[in-house]
Structure 1
């Protein structure tokens, strides 16, 4: 029987679907076409504008569209910093689409030189995304806040790993590194007071048991706030989500190879090749590849990766196109040192000095490593139904494996009570992982851009099927020695491969398979009540099923959730300043757990958790795009939280809040000078729940205060043309990584990390050199755990473009 909420949701969808077919003929017209260089190559990132009427930015294929233009005669202008603007006259007829090819005053080679020498306005800024709202929407039009880490910024900083790239996202802080273990082996980060992993690739599931490679990354989008309405329950955090956008084929020829070497034996080689495969440039091919070997800064440990990402696009005609993106990553590594504090006993010490840990000791060996092969494929069919409606059909499949040894250290009670100077002792536990998580996602989206009378509507209506199947044949955990910290510390473990294999092999193996399925329908409409004032109305229906051949019948259950979203945007100055507000919802379908209730084994089933956010703020895009940014205040309240209340026991009904302030800016104040910076403050507290956590900040909330900044300057003229300098870093406030009544509080101190770089760029060759952690600051991360971060290190690179 349908619930009242579900009937209400279906009614809402029907109303929205009816509205799609009932719009009247607009009194305005449309201009669309492509921007090309003087030698006929499509030009992306070019601004196309009609003064005081409308503006947009050409996409990667040079395509542009200006809608809602009143009938009349206009001058349309193309502009890009470093290239002389060009103008063309155009006549707009009511209710009709005018097609116009615009020519930029530069050849393709000249355009490449402009980009290499930093002529692009605000080169780190990305102002439009097809993924944040599941439709093309400018930042100023979107009532949601997001941070973008672009490939240009990563290249400027000579970034060689995904974790370092995320240091540029305001409000994101690392909790722990990728472990490689089954199910949740990717890195964890805090965002608006909640733990989050990078789970999306091109807006679709992109799970990984290891770390992603940055060679195929076009940009990383950190979408703030609970985003269950458009992205569902399985891939989000209440603080937001992390979406990785990959590089796509384009109509042009590109060759880019790079070699980097650095501290601890770093050797990294990358290649990016793009080319049309036919004379008519309908079939386009691109491949990115990477090879990387590096040891750790500790006495043992390494990570070796091999990566390739071929992609293909085929444009059948102006209405129909196909795209296939694939990624294949093979990695072998030791997992990062991780010290787990005893969560059921008082802390022996609450300071790093009292712990006596030497960050250069890994307490592992290169013999106990893990392999993490990851593969994914995404197929997309785009069909232009009409000038107003497009269809997008997407199929995404992925596989993430864990094969090998995972180890961690857990604090034990092997110390003398009453003698706080006795070094802490940790027991080492190791499992032999043999697990695979497979995902399948199928989406059908219809996106529209149409007028109801004089009111513009931009809408997405979609259906989504998501399946995650996990097969686990890993061994149990076994103890392999005791580790005593301190100057005279000892390690009783035999970490040879044969010994560890024999111990884990004797422990027995799992044989489980679990399957989760989600069936969803969603709709979102951005309504321009006036050209300056718009409202976003969104709703999702999510039906979740849990099961598997090793799951008890009582655990096979299903539940249905509703997730609404609402936003308002008013552009005080059109395309320059907007004020916004939003209400957003996120939810989690919590799987059943088996508990021991007074000697009786029972299955406990939970209702969905829900998070609701209210947010308001200001966004800017001033001085012809040279200054963009946002400031916002948010308040997230989570209800029905499932919390641990002892070993293998859980309760539901907890409540907590997470509220804070975020500021981010992206500026190009002078020719050649680019600045990206941000500040985030977060307050977080459990207001209802078990006494052990009540009134306390969550251990996964990260630091209360964070700052990120990067200053990049490139000489544009004269004898030093092409010479560039970079400087910046991160500040992190104190972080309570263990915070319970039972244990007490272990607080990591605040720290500032500074980095600096120098580069020299010519049209075809670039050189770069960077120092990370310039002052050799000792600092740590954690989430009821402790992990040392890297000391000062250097990396140098040379790249060649052809």
Structure 2
């Protein structure tokens, strides 16, 4: 091994939602030691996945962790590029900015999911997430209703952002990135120790960029102050706040027809209009958000800790939202536009008791808690109006004809749209949710190698399950169990695991009637239920230089509300979906200078029970995304000699063909498979870091969608410099 000289250090750490070891150091004495190979992408443990400290190899649930140092290597400036490092996850929709559900949508294990959690708590947004305050992203797989409820997660899993935490020494960095399409980004990360074991950390980012298309832009400012205060050896407070302001003009979403036979049979017209945004920079939408989390950790005894947490978020939407809807003639799309004005408030309070104790010779790690969640969504914008017709064949955007019958070009200005929306106020609407829950989870070590997990949640729901529902749900109760087992074939090195996990979704009441339309009435339903069985293998070999997981899962969703085949005016519970697949994830450090992260997933999903002629039976759901996904990234850094500090990274993503529209009674439209490659060059020392990143190396045309067709960014280059202090 290569020998180096370095100071002996004392690491300061804080255990909360993220059991994080900071890079804080205190010099004591100089020693000569041997350099240790480091798996830079390895995450030892998580306190979020199971709401208690638990190593990955002893956890019966699968999750991927995306650390901040990987994001730095890849010069990640947006959340989607960060998520591309997770196995089996791909984006369906870009952020729309809509009130309530305007964040990005991703496909995971056959189901759509949004990033809705921060530090294990609900933290909703109506736009994208700035990566500057990310310590790591935890992509937690499978229906996780037992520990996280139902209101903000998916049957496929959840995306949790773990934020950076303050530490006890002064330090930080300032970065500037400049890139293609007018991209400019300035970020800061500054940590300041205070008196009495307190510290403040401030992360901020200012970003401007334009679109690769003929219109579109985004200007954003993000500020995240956080405070850590160790009152005593027993009591610690942590406050995390995030302020985000985004102004943008978004490309129009192209929706394929949902109620008429599909008239497109190839990608040729979409390729022809790849760089057309069908919008203007005059039609902007403003998205502001504020998130605050406060928590208190109190050491009750050597074996028990109390964790009290409060999370509040407010998001605001104001501006123009538009989409283009297929006219079903193989050419034209009609524009629909409105001016949105809304606010979304959420509050979550949790009280957890976390224990680590023995009963006889058997170790127990237990969490017991109660959770209160409340959300209030207010809308007060205009109604919708059709405003112009886009022709893909002619590449035109017209709005009626003149007196001579000639098409009139659409003028996409604020004044023109405001005039068209005059008198269309849609009224003020409100949607509330209130959820009260209690849960308990215990990991019991029967032996040093064999452990079992048992968990249970009781959930009580009141309110509207969606802003689009007309009726409220009254007192809906759900019980959600979870079981798991882990056997370590080689202790702390190789384990086999299995789990049964449950997820659920509350279902809104609906109006039903007799076949002849008589006797209209409100009908209540039980919550939908998703049940997963999963088995797999995890490894952490050769001093953690190779960490891998291989798993097979089978998720069955039942009790979906469908139309009664014998009465079109009635709804019944009984729809079913099956989603099963294989996932392989590898994080490796095969040589001291080489780090690798890679993943492969294959998902088979289909509707197994549905109303006759509804169009979905036996077909892959449109939210399921591509069947096959591959992600890969490798970074080689020279560790000695004159070129010490120089690094090169290479990787990319593959996605198989994806049926963005897939209905027997309408048709199927497939987005083609794609391979997108990226590369990076870097130089790093104690004071400076210089990077050059090339995304979409081959300038691949590729699309995302969910009954939509959305072109993705072409080749782009970003250069960055960071000063560290």
Q: TM-score, normalised by structure 1?
A: 0.84
Aligned to 2:385: 478
Alignment match of 1:762 (pick from 656, 676, 685): 685
1:50-65 alignment runs, 5 A limit: 59-60=20-21
Alignment match of 1:659 (pick from 580, 588, 613): 580
Alignment match of 2:608 (pick from 673, 687, 708): 687
Q: Does 1:305 align with 2:228?
A: no
Superimposed CA distance per residue, residues 350-374 of structure 1 (whole angstroms, 9 cap, x where no aligned partner): 3212556511000001111100100
How many pairs align? 700
Alignment match of 1:639 (pick from 552, 558, 570): 558
Aligned to 1:792: 715
Aligned to 1:624: 543
> 1:179 touches 1:336 (CA, 8 Å); kept in 2?
no
Superimposed CA distance per residue, residues 387-413 of structure 1 (whole angstroms, 9 cap, x where no aligned partner): 000000000000111111100000114
Q: Which runs of 5+ in 1 are unaligned?
A: 1-36, 46-56, 64-82, 84-101, 416-422
Aligned CA RMSD, in angstroms, stands at 2.6
How far apart, in 1, do the equivalents of 2:29 and 2:603 lie? 48
Q: TM-score, normalised by structure 2?
A: 0.92
Equivalent residue of 1:291, what SS?
Answer: strand
Aligned to 1:286: 201
1:266-665 alignment runs, 5 A limit: 266-278=183-195, 280=196, 282-353=197-268, 357-413=272-328, 415=329, 424-492=331-399, 493-546=410-463, 555-593=472-510, 602-643=521-562, 652-665=573-586
CA-CA distance at 1:663 after TM superposition? 0.1
How far apart, in 2, do the equivalents of 1:701 and 1:553 lie? 27
Aligned to 1:732: 655
CA-CA distance at 1:505 after TM superposition? 3.5
Higher mean C-alpha displacement, 670-679 vs 349-358: 349-358
How far apart, in 1, do the equivalents of 2:491 and 2:29 lie? 27
Superimposed CA distance per residue, residues 313-355 of structure 1 (whole angstroms, 9 cap, x where no aligned partner): 1111100111110000000112233100111111112321255
CA-CA distance at 1:644 after TM superposition? 7.4
Superimposed CA distance per residue, residues 200-233 of structure 1 (whole angstroms, 9 cap, x where no aligned partner): 0000011000001000011110000000000001
CA-CA distance at 1:642 after TM superposition? 2.9
CA-CA distance at 1:605 after TM superposition? 3.0
> 2:552 touches 2:581 (CA, 8 Å); kept in 1?
yes
Q: Does 1:183 align with 2:103?
A: no
How far apart, in 2, do the equivalents of 1:760 and 1:462 lie? 47
Q: Aligned in 2, Cα 1:649/1:403: closer, same or farther, shift over 3 Å?
A: farther
Alignment match of 2:47 (pick from 119, 130, 134): 130
CA-CA distance at 1:558 after TM superposition? 1.6
Q: Aligned in 2, Cα 1:675/1:44: closer, same or farther, shift over 3 Å?
A: farther
Superimposed CA distance per residue, residues 138-184 of structure 1 (whole angstroms, 9 cap, x where no aligned partner): 00010000011110110000000001100000000110100001111
Equivalent residue of 1:790, what SS?
Answer: coil
> 1:135 touches 1:460 (CA, 8 Å); kept in 2?
yes
Q: Aligned in 2, Cα 1:789/1:604: closer, same or farther, shift over 3 Å?
A: farther
> 2:8 touches 2:29 (CA, 8 Å); kept in 1?
no
Q: Does 1:669 align with 2:590?
A: yes
Q: Aligned in 2, Cα 1:61/1:156: closer, same or farther, shift over 3 Å?
A: closer
> 1:457 touches 1:525 (CA, 8 Å); kept in 2?
yes
How far apart, in 2, do the equivalents of 1:759 and 1:551 lie? 48
Equivalent residue of 1:124, what SS?
Answer: coil
Superimposed CA distance per residue, residues 241-261 of structure 1 (whole angstroms, 9 cap, x where no aligned partner): 000011011112112110000
How far apart, in 2, do the equivalents of 1:212 and 1:490 lie? 32
Q: Aligned in 2, Cα 1:554/1:476: closer, same or farther, shift over 3 Å?
A: closer
How far apart, in 1, do the equivalents of 2:229 and 2:504 lie? 38
Equivalent residue of 1:259, what SS?
Answer: strand
How far apart, in 1, do the equivalents of 2:335 and 2:51 lie? 45
How far apart, in 2, do the equivalents of 1:355 and 1:259 lie? 35
How far apart, in 2, do the equivalents of 1:700 and 1:553 lie? 24
CA-CA distance at 1:494 after TM superposition? 2.4
